[in-house]
Structures are given as C-alpha cells and as structure tokens.
Structure 1
Amino acid sequence: MVPTSLKVLQPSVHPYEVDIATSLCSRQLASDPLNHCVPIYEVLKVPGDDDKDILVMPLLRDWREPEF
C-alpha cells in the first residue's frame, strides 16, 4: 500500500489545475528527467458537488518533517 495525499480543488477558482497536473503526468512528459511534478494517481469527483475535485497523489513527506 502506497501512502497517498489528497488535494481538494475548486474548478471555479482554479479552472485549469486538473488539466495541467494530469498533462504533466502523461507518459510522455513524466519520463522527461526535467519534469519534477508530483504524479497524479487519480482525479475523483465529489458526489453532489460539481465544484470540487480531489487529486490523489503520493505522500512525498510527512507534514511534520522537517520540524517548524
């Protein structure tokens, strides 16, 4: 099981974020060594709320590290 993180987006506020994130994770661009974008595993729709999308991404680092 891979630890994941979730990011809730509002397409009405950020209309291109899902498209940009998923295109940067396309097979062609993800293999580019200069592409350091976090992979998007899946985009989920929130039932009953058309203005919310959830990006499922790998958890890169625990939020407590490094300590503040």
Structure 2
Amino acid sequence: MHSNPEPRDGHQWFKSSYSSEKGDTCVEVALLSHSTGVRDSKDRERPAFFVDHDAWRTFVGFATEA
C-alpha cells in the first residue's frame, strides 16, 4: 500500500463493475499515474487506500477467477 494523498480534482473515481446491484457493497476505483486508489463509495470521508498497478491487476485477476 502507498500513502499517497487523496486524488486531486480531475481524478475520476468509478464504481467497480463487481459491486453489488443492491448498492450495499460498493467499491470505487481511481486510476492514478503511479497507483490505483480504492475507496468505499458509501463512506467517501474515510481515507482511500492506494496500491501499485501490478498489485491491483493481480487482485482483480484473482477476484475474477473466484
């Protein structure tokens, strides 16, 4: 994980296509230049966390196989 600051204006957060249709388990992702930000879409005041792009691709690959 990185301790990058919150993405500045201009970074677009988008809801994961794997989020629940009920809206109760929603994750938002921002693709930044050196990392990928992840946050809870229902509680945007909580800090996001950041991982490098390779770690994010590995996670998504694992999650989509399950």
TM-score with structure 1 setting the length = 0.26
Larger RCO of the pair (alpha carbons < 8 Å, separation 6+): 1
Larger Rg: 1 or 2? 1
Q: Which has the higher strand share?
A: 1
